[in-house]
Amino acid sequence: MDGIIQVQHLSKIYTMEQGKKVHALEDINLDIYPNDFICIVGPSGCGKSTLLKILAGLEAPSSGSVCFQGAPIIKPSRDIGLVFQEYSLLPWRTVIDNISLGLEFNKQPKQERLAVAEQFLQLVGLQDFAGAYPYELSGGMQQRVAIARALANNPQVLLMDEPFGALDAHTRILLQKELLRIWELNRKTIVFVTHSVDEAIYLADSIVVMSPHLGRIKEVIKVDIPRPRDRANPKYGQMASEILTMLEVE
The pLDDT score that the predictor gives to residue 250 is: 59
The pLDDT score that the predictor gives to residue 193 is: 95
Do β-strands 5-15 and 63-68 pair in parallel, antiparallel, or remain unpaired?
antiparallel
| Mean pLDDT for the stretch of residues 186-209 | 95
- Phi first, then psi: give them for residue 135, nearest 5 degrees: -65, -15
* Sequence letter at residue 93: R
Asked whether the predicted pLDDT for residue 56 surpasses 80, the reply is yes
The pLDDT score that the predictor gives to residue 249 is: 67
Alpha carbon distances (Å) from 104 to 12, 30, 109, 144, 152: 34, 34, 8, 20, 11
CA neighbor of 205 nearest in space, from 229, 178, 186, 185: 229
The pLDDT score that the predictor gives to residue 46 is: 87
What's the predicted TM-score (pTM) here? 0.92
- Read off the pLDDT of residues 203-230 as tens digits, 9 standing for 90 and up: 999 999 998 777 899 999 999 999 999 9
Q: Where are the domains of the chain?
A: 1-76+204-250
Domain 1-76+204-250: state its class.
alpha beta
| Residue 221: how many other CB atoms lie within 10 Å | 19
- Read off the pLDDT of residues 58-95 as tens digits, 9 standing for 90 and up: 999 999 999 999 999 999 999 999 998 777 899 999 99
- Read off the pLDDT of residues 170-180 as tens digits, 9 standing for 90 and up: 999 999 999 99
pLDDT-based confidence at residue 43 (cuts at 50, 70, 90): confident
The pLDDT score that the predictor gives to residue 161 is: 93
CB-based contact 11:47 (threshold 8 Å): no
The CA distance from 95 to 149, in Å, is: 9
